[in-house]
Chain A
Amino acid sequence: MRRLLPHLVLLVATVVALFPVAWVVKMALRSSQTFSTSLSPWPDEVSLVQFETLFADPVFWRQVLNSVVVASATTAVGVFLACTAAYAFSRYRFPGRRAGLQVLLVTQMFPGTLMMIPLYRLIESMGLLDRALGLVLVYSTTAIPFCVWQLKGWFDTLPKELEESAIMDGAGPLTLFWRIILPLSRPAIAVTALFSFMTAWNEYVLAATFMGDERAYTLPVRVQSYVGAYTTEWGLFAAGAVVVSLPVMALFFVLQRHLVGGLTAGGVKG
């Protein structure tokens, strides 16, 4: 009994965790647009009609491309900005360091509703509405604070002796960063990249605000468009949801080994 109890609890938790997901998959595999009402999460039919409808639309592929471009560019820009800043916060003691770290935390508290109109105006005045670049700029900067704290925690755990010996060998500040610190930080960078990617890939409100043209939509906006005020095309919605969720899930599975270590490195090494 003592051995079975943990498994029982974990099984229940797993079932609860997977049930809504299985549900979405089931709806995506049905041929009707209604919400399924039977309790079983197993697909009662396997039809690819929803996916075929979705994939047959050339605009959909355009939107996939938008999402891919926005998310990858956000990841690249966000990780670069976060790595450099986190390294400075971790390794240098400069005036303004504490204030800078506090500012990063405080920006997490800015309510999105306050930012939306000014951001809209800003993006508009830069001529970046309906352009991927506008979203990339906004996403990569909003993701910075969390990523910096996250990476700083990791950098703090890297022994400084490594750098000291490298300096003895004549390495400059850039060499230190590129050749010593970054290669040692792959797990943390992977996790940071995952978060940046997720921020951009999953974000809905700003994307819907900035992207007025259907061809400029990202996938979340497209998926949301199947949910109407009165009727919802659950089949197409579910198929879209599966398509949106798959890449993130894949990334999670690839990176989950790093996730546990990379996320908590800073606080716990005593």
Chain B
Amino acid sequence: MTRQAARVGLIAPFIAVLFAAALGALALQRYSAERHRATATAFVTHLAQWYAEQGPAGSQALARDSRVRFAAIATRTQAGAYPYLHDLRFTAHTVDARAGEALWPILEDDRAVALAVTRSGVTHLPNGAWRAAVRAPGSDGERSVAVIETQPLSPIAVPWWGLAASCLAAFALWLDVVRRWPGRGAAPLLAAALSAGAILTPLGMRLLAVDATEVGTTLGSADLRGAALMLAAAVAAPLTLLGVLAARRGSGPSPHRWAYAYIAPAMVGLGVLVVVPFIFGVVMSFHERAGGDWRWVGASHYVDILAATGRRLWEPMSFYFTLAVTVLWTLVNVALHASIGLALALLLARPTLRFKAVYRVLLIVPWAVPSYITALVWKGMFNQQYGLVNHLLGVLGLAPVSWFASFWAAFAANVTTNTWLGFPFMLVVSLGALQSIPADLYEAAEVDGATRWQQFRHITLPLLRPALVPALLLGSVWTFNMFNVIYLVSGGQPGHATDILVTEAYRLAFEQDRYGYAAAWSVLIFVVLLAWGFVTRRAGEDDEPSPAAGGGAH
């Protein structure tokens, strides 16, 4: 009886999710139809007007129409106003106002032949298409009427395959619950992830379909609904996943109810604003933007990047060169941060040191300064003509250096800036760790006659490790992706040589408008970091504060 109730309790959320998904799909269809209507009305009217103004000459120029031509007109006349143009197909013709006959058939497959159109307006045809007819106030009287007709519109396809995957997920879960599933565990997870991806991806591409450069595009309430729907899907996905995980234990969600309740807000937030954009980014990397349209190009961006198409394998702006610079940059910085931070912390941790608090406060000041300000100030300091660094070199009797003219000088300038910026974090981490090392260990070591170096080597370092290793790993990821310093200090000079992977990706996207290529480049950055994460996972895991390390409380 109760077991049965438990099973019903497990299945119910999934039925609810499926129900919600179906509702969402219907809402999506309605929303998409409405959006089509709005876009079609505006575009068709506009086009018809333009077309009627052109008269015979203009219309003949369009005789071999294709959507491309109309798109070109639209772009020329009102860039970005018809973002969903690629969904619409048009036929167009003009008719003689008096005879009501077609004068200049525009399209070869001109299905909707001369309808006697006598007044302007946009009408909804029974087959679901929209038609606009505009009278042209030509010089020879009201002679020509332009008629533009859309083909029957197919609204956004509901991701039925996504819903099917959801059903599969629910079914796998059910099998899991009754324990007759051979591949228990992995299957429901996979299915849930699949369904989430299937639902999210088409929606995401719809949203992305708008020209990313058109900042001024205004969106109506229909788009808000679309976004709300997408958010709902994004919320449902992690919840489904959690539900599946909970049910996998076969014990039902109740024992872990509180745990899930506690993590849900953060996870939903992460899902919507971090994971969803990430997925869209990955999808983008398989597309290329052409005339406001996202075109599927498969893995060709990845091939281009990895084969360094158009440039040598080893030169600035090639992926490999940039990767090498990035790795060098990360290693040098992390080494400097850690050694300087640790050295200063060791000095500050001396029990007999005076003015300890003053030093500590003053040494963390660089941390409090926003990094872009730091970067800009240091850039000024490295200026060849008026910069302080060259001034200082002059005082010391050295020749001024043109800091951004050679790779190593520019690299050194970047590293100097980032070291100044980053050592306080390591200092504070080391200091905290040092303070927690019991003093009697050192006393015992001194009794045994250990030298200072031996004490450092065998007491300090091993005990610092649990605190330092996670900080180093985190620091390495941060440095790897440190955008501000590179972009603002050297700016990649000379000739992109000092650019690291992220700054190069930013240039590709926002200076060269190669969004798809930049997205693929960014995905590769992520893959590199992920690989680094796997390599260091063992180190990280050892140092995750394990239950045993938490004061034996667990």
Q: B383 within 8 Å of A by Cβ?
A: yes
Complex alpha-carbon distance, A67 and B215, angstroms: 23
Given A10-B359, A106-B530, A160-B553, are A113 and B522 neighbors across the interface (CB < 8 Å)?
Answer: yes
Interface pair B367/A85, CB less than 8 Å apart: no
Q: B36 within 8 Å of A by Cβ?
A: no
Interface pair B428/A245, CB less than 8 Å apart: no
Contact of B519 (CB < 8 Å), options: A39, A92, A114, A260: A114
Complex alpha-carbon distance, A246 and B435, angstroms: 29
Q: B372 within 8 Å of A by Cβ?
A: yes
Given A6-B353, A109-B526, A160-B554, are A115 and B277 neighbors across the interface (CB < 8 Å)?
Answer: yes
Interface pair A39/B436, CB less than 8 Å apart: no
Chain A residues 13 to 61 lying within 8 A of chain B, measured CB to CB, are: 13-14, 16-18, 20-21, 23-24, 34-35, 37, 39
Contact of B431 (CB < 8 Å), options: A103, A138, A260: A260
Interface pair A266/B545, CB less than 8 Å apart: yes
Least CB distance from A265 to B in Å reads 8
Interface pair A118/B276, CB less than 8 Å apart: yes
Complex alpha-carbon distance, A262 and B392, angstroms: 39
> Which partner residue on chain A sits nearest B465 by CB separation?
A267
Interface pair A110/B274, CB less than 8 Å apart: yes
Least CB distance from B538 to A in Å reads 13
- Residues on B with beta carbons closer than 8 Å to the beta carbon of A156: 545, 547, 549-550
Complex alpha-carbon distance, A13 and B363, angstroms: 7
Contact of B377 (CB < 8 Å), options: A23, A100, A220: A23
Interface pair B274/A125, CB less than 8 Å apart: no
- Residues on B with beta carbons closer than 8 Å to the beta carbon of A153: 545
- Residues on B with beta carbons closer than 8 Å to the beta carbon of A205: 483-484
- Residues on A with beta carbons closer than 8 Å to the beta carbon of B186: none
> Which partner residue on chain B sits nearest A155 by CB separation?
B550
> Which partner residue on chain A sits nearest B282 by CB separation?
A114
Interface pair A35/B347, CB less than 8 Å apart: no
Interface pair B227/A125, CB less than 8 Å apart: yes
The interface bits of chain B over 352-385 (1 if a CB of A lies within 8 angstroms of the residue's CB, else 0) are 0111000111111111111111101110110100
- Residues on A with beta carbons closer than 8 Å to the beta carbon of B519: 114, 117
Least CB distance from B363 to A in Å reads 5
**Number of residues from A at the complex interface, CB < 8 A:** 110
**Number of residues from B at the complex interface, CB < 8 A:** 125
- Residues on B with beta carbons closer than 8 Å to the beta carbon of A85: 262-263, 265-267
Interface pair B370/A39, CB less than 8 Å apart: no
Interface pair A95/B248, CB less than 8 Å apart: yes
- Residues on B with beta carbons closer than 8 Å to the beta carbon of A144: 266, 269-270
Complex alpha-carbon distance, A232 and B267, angstroms: 43
Interface pair A35/B204, CB less than 8 Å apart: no
Interface pair B348/A10, CB less than 8 Å apart: yes
Chain A residues 80 to 125 lying within 8 A of chain B, measured CB to CB, are: 80-82, 84-85, 87-89, 92, 94-97, 99-101, 103-122, 124-125
- Residues on B with beta carbons closer than 8 Å to the beta carbon of A125: 207, 219, 223-224, 226-227, 230
Q: B171 within 8 Å of A by Cβ?
A: no
Complex alpha-carbon distance, A97 and B246, angstroms: 11
Q: B306 within 8 Å of A by Cβ?
A: no
Interface pair B370/A16, CB less than 8 Å apart: no
Q: B259 within 8 Å of A by Cβ?
A: yes
Complex alpha-carbon distance, A87 and B263, angstroms: 8
Chain A residues 183 to 241 lying within 8 A of chain B, measured CB to CB, are: 198, 201-202, 204-205, 212, 220, 223-224, 227, 232, 234, 237, 241
Interface pair A114/B429, CB less than 8 Å apart: no
Interface pair B550/A157, CB less than 8 Å apart: yes
Given A6-B353, A18-B362, are A118 and B263 neighbors across the interface (CB < 8 Å)?
Answer: no
- Residues on A with beta carbons closer than 8 Å to the beta carbon of B99: none
Interface pair A17/B365, CB less than 8 Å apart: yes
Least CB distance from B192 to A in Å reads 12
Contact of B277 (CB < 8 Å), options: A39, A122, A270: A122
Given A117-B515, A268-B433, are A111 and B522 neighbors across the interface (CB < 8 Å)?
Answer: yes
Interface pair A121/B212, CB less than 8 Å apart: yes
Chain B residues 435 to 489 lying within 8 A of chain A, measured CB to CB, are: 435-437, 463, 466-467, 470, 474, 477, 481, 483-484
B259, B281, B429, B549 interface centre (most CB from chain A within 10 Å): B259
Complex alpha-carbon distance, A153 and B436, angstroms: 15
A110, A198, A241 interface centre (most CB from chain B within 10 Å): A110
Given A264-B433, A270-B463, are A119 and B277 neighbors across the interface (CB < 8 Å)?
Answer: yes
Interface pair A113/B432, CB less than 8 Å apart: no
Q: B284 within 8 Å of A by Cβ?
A: yes
Q: B502 within 8 Å of A by Cβ?
A: yes
Complex alpha-carbon distance, A127 and B220, angstroms: 9
Complex alpha-carbon distance, A260 and B547, angstroms: 22
> Which partner residue on chain A sits nearest B508 by CB separation?
A113
Interface pair B372/A122, CB less than 8 Å apart: no
Complex alpha-carbon distance, A20 and B381, angstroms: 9
Q: A256 within 8 Å of B by Cβ?
A: yes
Complex alpha-carbon distance, A89 and B545, angstroms: 12
Contact of A260 (CB < 8 Å), options: B432, B437, B543: B432
Given A117-B515, A153-B545, are A87 and B262 neighbors across the interface (CB < 8 Å)?
Answer: yes
Complex alpha-carbon distance, A166 and B273, angstroms: 37
Chain B residues 40 to 79 lying within 8 A of chain A, measured CB to CB, are: none
> Which partner residue on chain A sits nearest B509 by CB separation?
A113
B219, B249, B370, B470 interface centre (most CB from chain A within 10 Å): B370
Q: A68 within 8 Å of B by Cβ?
A: no
Complex alpha-carbon distance, A68 and B44, angstroms: 47
Complex alpha-carbon distance, A101 and B363, angstroms: 32
Interface pair B263/A119, CB less than 8 Å apart: no
Q: A180 within 8 Å of B by Cβ?
A: no
Q: A23-B381, A112-B502, A113-B506 are known contacts; what are 14 more A-B pairs with Cβ within 8 Å? A: A17-B365, A21-B369, A85-B263, A92-B262, A106-B530, A114-B522, A125-B219, A125-B224, A138-B273, A144-B270, A227-B376, A248-B368, A260-B431, A261-B432
A-B contacts, 21 listed (Cβ < 8 Å): A9-B344, A13-B344, A17-B365, A20-B378, A111-B505, A113-B506, A115-B278, A117-B515, A127-B219, A142-B273, A144-B266, A158-B553, A177-B262, A232-B380, A245-B370, A252-B365, A256-B361, A260-B435, A263-B429, A266-B545, A268-B436
Q: A residues within 8 Å of B by Cβ?
A: 6-7, 9-10, 13-14, 16-18, 20-21, 23-24, 34-35, 37, 39, 80-82, 84-85, 87-89, 92, 94-97, 99-101, 103-122, 124-127, 137-138, 140-142, 144-146, 148-149, 152-153, 156-161, 173, 177, 198, 201-202, 204-205, 212, 220, 223-224, 227, 232, 234, 237, 241, 244-245, 248-249, 251-253, 256, 259-261, 263-270
Q: Considering the complex of A and B, which 7 residue pairs feature the smallest CB-CB distances, nearest first?
A: A264-B432, A114-B522, A92-B259, A88-B262, A118-B277, A202-B370, A85-B266
